[in-house]
């Protein structure tokens, strides 16, 4: 149950792109065609599924305050958490390199489809963000960390797939010249993010809110402003429709 909850939460409610804006750069740059978007999305799922559990182990057994106690009593007071940024990014950069080499060796066809995206991924904020959120949300077991990595990856994949499909279609609409390309993509992403916020109602039972503070704050705001939101949503949709006309 816990697994299922975390899985859906990381795909829909805490969606990487729409809730935390991670990996926006590649999301905007590589979403012009569905086929390339699928390639990059798959690579992100793959790398997140590897790096989040690895960084979880690193965090548990090396970086956390007192994590070194498995070495002996003398080390129990060490706190290396200030090193977490550098350790996480080093793990990610090495893993990406390693994955690239392994995939090239064993599956040239997969390499050809993922190949060009893998180096890009080392500097994709979604990957580092996955590890940092895993750390700040204090995910408890290795299994949950793996689950969180895959879930976040799928969430990112869905987001880039959706925007790529919309951008392929929007070529046929008459967007105002100054909004073409980047501008309209931003506004569409904003509207999609509003849509994804409605998933926030899926898991609002009891302790879920207590677990993540920022989420419950957001839910508070939603409750307060639900009417204004609807009015705003309508006018936003009208604007979007008008701009499309």
Partner 1 sequence: MGKDSRLILDPLADNNPITIQVLGICSALAITAELEASIVMSISVLFVLGIGNVVISLMRNIIPSKIRIIVQLIVVATLVIIVDLVLKAFAYELSKTLSVFVGLIITNCIIMGRFEAFALGNSPWRSFLDGIGNALGYGVILIIVGFFRELLGSGTLLGIPVLGDPIEKTGLYAFGYENNGFMLLSPMALIVVGIIIWVQRSRNKALIED
Neighbours of 24 (CB within 10 A): 17
Write the interaction track for partner 1 spanning residues 36-65; mark x where CB under 8 A is met and - where it is not. ------------------------------
Residues 192/163, Cβ–Cβ less than 8 Å: yes
CA atoms of 152 and 67, how far apart (whole Å)? 26
Q: Which is nearer to partner 1, 10 or 84 (CB)?
A: 84
Give the separation between CA 13 and CA 219, rounded to whole angstroms: 11
Residue number, 38 or 187, with CB nearest to partner 1: 187
What values do phi and psi take at 133, rounded to 5? Answer: -70, -35
The CA-atom distances, in angstroms, between 27 and each of 22, 83, 174, 175, 201 are: 9, 29, 23, 21, 26
Query: Which part of the chain contacts partner 1 (CB under 8 A), choosing from 34-42, 62-70, 100-108, 221-229?
Result: 221-229
Of 97-156, binders to partner 1 (CB under 8 A) are 119, 122-125, 127-129, 132-133, 136
Q: Among 2, 79, 224, 238, which residue interacts with partner 1 (rule: CB under 8 A)?
A: 224
Q: Is 186 near partner 1 (CB under 8 A)?
A: yes
Q: Are 160 and 17 in contact (CB under 8 A)?
A: yes
Contact residues: partner 1, CB under 8 A? 18-25, 28-29, 82-86, 88-90, 93-94, 119, 122-125, 127-129, 132-133, 136, 176-187, 189-191, 193-194, 197, 218, 221-222, 224-225, 228-229, 232, 236
């Amino acid at each position: 149950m816990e697994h299922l909850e975390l899985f859906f939460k990381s795909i829909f409610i805490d969606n990487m792109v729409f809730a935390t804006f991670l990996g926006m750069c590649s999301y905007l740059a590589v979403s012009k065609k569905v086929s390339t978007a699928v390639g990059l999305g798959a690579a992100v799922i793959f790398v997140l599924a590897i790096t989040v559990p690895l960084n979880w182990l690193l965090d548990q057994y090396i970086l956390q305050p007192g994590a070194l106690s498995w070495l002996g009593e003398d080390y129990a007071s060490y706190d290396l958490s200030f090193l977490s940024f550098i350790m996480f990014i080093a793990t990610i950069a090495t893993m990406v390199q390693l994955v690239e080499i392994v995939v090239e060796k064993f599956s040239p066809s997969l390499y050809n489809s993922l190949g060009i995206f893998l180096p890009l991924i080392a500097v994709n904020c979604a990957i580092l963000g996955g590890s940092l959120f895993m750390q700040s949300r204090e995910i408890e077991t290795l299994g949950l960390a793996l689950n969180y990595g895959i879930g976040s990856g799928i969430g990112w994949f869905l987001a880039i797939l959706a925007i790529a499909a919309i951008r392929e279609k929007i070529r046929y609409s008459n967007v105002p010249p100054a909004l073409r390309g980047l501008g309209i993509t931003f506004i569409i992403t904003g509207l999609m993010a509003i849509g994804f916020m409605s998933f926030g109602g899926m898991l609002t039972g009891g302790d879920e809110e207590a677990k993540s503070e920022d989420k419950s704050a957001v839910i508070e705001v939603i409750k307060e402003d639900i009417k204004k939101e609807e009015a705003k949503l309508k006018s936003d949709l009208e604007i979007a429709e008008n701009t499309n006309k």
